[in-house]
């Protein structure tokens, strides 16, 4: 008899039981509820024990292997309890540049515990985590689901004090840097409601053009006309790959025996990127409206918003907005009397960067390990549950209502040819004004850093820029006088990516930068294909050793060569994402690698990185 069988049936408390029932009801296939159920169970019990897991398996008709292996994949899910306050410290690039490592060191010292350890009283536990989407509020920590940003040791002490004494803490109400005075370079389109009081409420949204686009789309436009309008807008996917959105929609077969799905990729986790978070927290209805219009365009009756597990408070905001939208008749049966039915739900992730890859996201949404799928077939033909599926980033879908309302040509005109509209630019790192700015495509990168970001802080010189998330090749200070559109940045040898721009000053050690970036990809590699699984792990160890002064002259070309051997050969783009920045750093800052051969790191001293496990 298996241990799980011997376990007594578990009494699930009523609230959790109701949540389970609600979750299971959201999906055509029960297994899809697995990850959300484990997350909510963990919220209740503090961890996912054998008995809970067995109960979830029972409810979903799964066996123990299936639930165990799914749980094992996601970094937020745990089999053992953590502290009452689980403090998660980000040390990824944006936070690292602004004191993430120091925050972690301070916490380790104050709590006398290390990575994934618990204080004897069980009050605190500590974990070094990857980018949590608070890059413009760096350095940040998350205590359970609460974000605390722009931390200093004094603020950390205050926070610990509050937690310890049971005082009310003050987590950030919204993403730091998302609300600020508008700069003249900005063209607020999708962020135009940021800062309006109660902007996330449906009434406020409706006072500001809300749901007019949907009315137009369902009453006046055919699905083809919607797709044409989006095509005209030259909107390109804002998740990072920049694929034309209208074209993606047009690939969906009109007649499909299987239900079609529209998925919103809100698994924002590209280091340096924190734009989807404010888009959802300030203006969830804009996103809901965009998704519903997309559903109408492709003939889908069902959509899901896959939100990364760390963004729980954002998910709650979106859930509340969804409830409002249902109540107002913008979702559900016969929307606005048009005969169009559309259901939309949120779905929580559980800690896996790979699930931002569209096919891995679909696997994850089906309640499995987030492994990418073989392509072709592409999602537009065979996607979620085998049905044709469109999957778009939050920012792309948020642009849809404006495009429908004001026309594709108007939107296209905001940007440069073939690069329509505006995009959210997250400037983090060593700048005076980290923040999230909505700018037209084609804005000069140098101007953005100097004028929007306020230039490099403390009067330091610029050394490097990550143009759009840590997967992009880094640009040197003299390579940034370029227009920020997909094609110009590509011409400069990098990518516009996800809009997560990280500014790096002259004191920063680029070996350290390469090392931190590789730590991230090694941690997030799903393990499916050999070159990424082994390559990222190898490079991580090698860069650790190299930075610690254990490098040899043979290592320098080998680092580049190993990255090159991964490039273009991995199953999904994660391997490329790990290889590209590494190759660019070794090539452009080879001198810094050579300097390390002479002894200790001559640049800004960095704290030891923990081996993330």
Partner 1 sequence: MAELKQINFTINEQKVAVPAGTLVIDAAKRMEMEVPSFCYYKGLSLQAACRMCLVEVEKMPKLQTACTLTATEGMIVRTDTPQVHDARKNMLEFLLSNHPLDCPVCDKGGECELQDMTFRYGLDHSRFNEEKLHYPEEKWSPLVYYDAPRCILCFRCVRVCDEGMDVKALGVGARGVQSVILPNTSGALNCEECGACIDICPVGALTSGTYRYQTRPWEMTYVSEPCTHCSNGCKTTLSVRNNEILRANNRDQSGINGEFLCGKGRFGFDFTNNAERIRQPLIRRDGKLSPATWEDAFEEIARRLKQVRDKSGAASIGVIGSNHTTNEENYLLNRFARLNLGTNNLDHHRTADYAGLATALGANTLPAQATMADIYAANNILVIGNDPSQQNPLVAWQIRTAIRHHNAKLFLINSQPTKLERQSSLTIRVPAGAEAAAVRWLARGEGNFPEEITGQLAKLKETLEQALDAVVLFGAAIAGQAIRDLFTFGSRLKASTRLMALGDYANSRGAADFGVFPDRLPGYAPLSDAGERDRFSKLWGGEIPAAAGMTAKQMMDAAGSGKLKALYVVGANPVKTFGAKKSDKLGSLDLLIVQDLFLTETAQRADVVLPAASSYEKDGTMTSTSGELQMTHRSIDPQGPRSDFDLIRILSYQLSQLGMGPAIRLRTPEAALDEIRQNIPGYRVSAANLMAGGAERTGAAPQSTENSYSVPEGAIFSSQDSLFSSGTLGRYCSRLNSCNEAKEKPWSSSPNIQSWWYR
Q: How far is the CB of 545 from partner 1 (least distance, A)?
A: 7
CA–CA distance, 592 with 176 (Å, rounded to integer)? 33
| 482: phi then psi, degrees, rounded to nearest 5 | -135, 160
Q: How far is the CB of 27 from partner 1 (least distance, A)?
A: 18
Which of 147, 158, 274, 292 has the alpha carbon at shortest distance from 214? 292
Q: How far is the CB of 591 from partner 1 (least distance, A)?
A: 23
- Name the residue nearer to partner 1 (CB basis): 172 or 381: 381
Identify whether the C-beta of residue 315 lies closer than 8 Å to the C-beta of residue 276. Answer: no
Q: How far is the CB of 491 from partner 1 (least distance, A)?
A: 17
* Residue 222 falls in which region: left (phi positive, over 0), alpha (psi -120 to 50) or beta: beta
Q: Which residue has the tokens 């009050």?
A: 123
Collect all residues with Cβ–Cβ distance below 8 Å to 598 and sequence separation of at least 6. none
Q: How far is the CB of 318 from partner 1 (least distance, A)?
A: 27
CA–CA distance, 350 with 361 (Å, rounded to integer)? 11
Identify whether the C-beta of residue 365 lies closer than 8 Å to the C-beta of residue 306. Answer: yes
Q: How many residues does the chain have?
A: 613
- Name the residue nearer to partner 1 (CB basis): 55 or 268: 55
Identify whether the C-beta of residue 607 lies closer than 8 Å to the C-beta of residue 105. Answer: yes
Q: How far is the CB of 523 from partner 1 (least distance, A)?
A: 7
- Name the residue nearer to partner 1 (CB basis): 328 or 558: 558
- Name the residue nearer to partner 1 (CB basis): 183 or 541: 541
Tokens of 456: 């490099």
- Name the residue nearer to partner 1 (CB basis): 86 or 369: 369
Q: How far is the CB of 540 from partner 1 (least distance, A)?
A: 9
Tokens of 329: 């008749």
- The Cα-based distances of 315 to 8, 195, 304, 346, 481 in angstroms read 33, 19, 12, 7, 38
- Name the residue nearer to partner 1 (CB basis): 69 or 224: 69
- Name the residue nearer to partner 1 (CB basis): 3 or 337: 3
**Where does this chain bind partner 1 (CB under 8 A)?**
2-5, 54, 57-58, 61-66, 68-69, 72-73, 352, 369, 374, 522-531, 533-538, 541-542, 545, 558, 565, 568-571, 613
CA–CA distance, 109 with 105 (Å, rounded to integer)? 6
Strand order in the sheet with 475-476: 435-440, 422-429, 500-505, 462-466, 475-476
Which of 403, 401, 405, 375 has the alpha carbon at shortest distance from 389? 375
- Name the residue nearer to partner 1 (CB basis): 306 or 521: 521
Q: How far is the CB of 382 from partner 1 (least distance, A)?
A: 14
Identify whether the C-beta of residue 269 lies closer than 8 Å to the C-beta of residue 131. Answer: yes
Q: How far is the CB of 272 from partner 1 (least distance, A)?
A: 21
- Name the residue nearer to partner 1 (CB basis): 14 or 613: 613
């Amino acid at each position: 008899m298996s241990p799980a069988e011997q376990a007594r049936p578990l009494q699930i408390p009523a609230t959790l039981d109701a949540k389970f029932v609600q979750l299971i009801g959201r999906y055509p296939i029960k297994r899809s509820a697995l990850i959300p159920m484990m997350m909510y169970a963990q919220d209740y019990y503090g961890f996912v024990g054998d008995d809970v897991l067995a109960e979830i398996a029972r409810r979903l008709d799964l066996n123990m292997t299936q639930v165990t292996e799914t749980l094992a994949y996601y970094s937020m899910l745990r089999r053992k309890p953590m502290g009452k306050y689980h403090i998660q410290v980000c040390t990824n690039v944006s936070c690292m540049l602004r004191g993430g490592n120091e925050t972690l060191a301070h916490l380790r010292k104050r709590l006398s515990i290390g990575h994934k350890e618990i204080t004897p009283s069980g009050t605190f536990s500590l974990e070094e985590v990857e980018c949590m989407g608070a890059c413009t509020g760096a350095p940040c920590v998350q205590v359970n689901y609460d974000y605390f940003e722009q931390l200093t040791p004094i603020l950390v002490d205050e926070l610990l004090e509050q937690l310890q004494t049971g005082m009310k803490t003050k987590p950030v109400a919204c993403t730091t840097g998302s609300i600020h005075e508008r700069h003249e370079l900005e063209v607020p389109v999708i962020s135009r409601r940021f800062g309006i009081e109660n902007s996330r409420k449906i009434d406020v949204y409706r006072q500001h053009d809300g749901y007019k686009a949907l009315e137009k789309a369902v009453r006046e436009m055919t699905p083809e006309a919607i797709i044409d309008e989006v095509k005209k807008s030259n909107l390109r996917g804002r998740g990072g790959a920049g694929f034309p959105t209208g074209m993606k929609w047009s690939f969906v077969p009109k007649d499909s025996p299987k239900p079609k799905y529209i998925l919103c990729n809100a698994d924002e986790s590209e280091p340096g990127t924190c734009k989807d978070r404010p888009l959802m927290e300030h203006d969830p209805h804009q996103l809901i409206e965009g998704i519903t219009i997309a559903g109408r365009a492709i003939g889908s009756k069902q959509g899901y918003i896959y939100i990364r597990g760390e963004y729980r408070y954002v998910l709650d905001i979106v859930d509340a907005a969804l409830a409002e939208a249902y109540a107002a008749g913008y979702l559900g049966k016969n929307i606005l009397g048009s005969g169009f039915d559309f259901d939309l739900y949120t779905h929580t992730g559980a800690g896996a960067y790979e699930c931002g890859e569209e096919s891995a996201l679909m696997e994850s949404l089906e309640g499995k390990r987030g492994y990418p799928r073989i392509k072709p077939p592409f999602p537009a033909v065979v996607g979620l549950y085998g049905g044709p599926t469109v999957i778009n980033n939050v920012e792309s879908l948020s642009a849809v209502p404006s495009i429908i309302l004001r026309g594709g040509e108007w939107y296209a005109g905001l940007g440069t040819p073939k690069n329509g509209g505006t995009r959210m630019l997250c400037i983090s790192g060593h700048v005076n004004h980290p923040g999230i700015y909505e700018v037209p495509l084609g804005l000069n990168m140098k101007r953005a850093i100097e004028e929007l970001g306020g230039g490099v802080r403390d009067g330091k010189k610029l050394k490097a820029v990550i143009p759009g998330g840590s997967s992009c090749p880094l640009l040197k200070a003299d390579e940034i006088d370029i227009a920020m559109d997909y094609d110009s940045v590509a011409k400069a040898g990098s990518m516009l990516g996800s809009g997560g721009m990280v500014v790096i000053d002259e004191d920063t050690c680029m070996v350290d930068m390469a090392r931190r970036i590789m730590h991230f990809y090694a941690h997030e590699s799903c393990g499916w294909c050999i070159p990424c699984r082994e390559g990222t792990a190898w490079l991580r160890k090698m860069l650790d050793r190299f930075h610690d002064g254990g490098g040899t002259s043979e290592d320098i070309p080998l680092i580049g060569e190993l990255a090159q051997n991964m490039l273009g050969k991995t199953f999904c783009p994660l391997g490329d994402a790990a290889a590209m920045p590494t190759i660019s750093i070794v090539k452009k800052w080879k001198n810094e690698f050579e300097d390390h051969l002479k002894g200790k790191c001559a640049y800004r001293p960095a704290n030891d990185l923990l081996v993330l496990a």
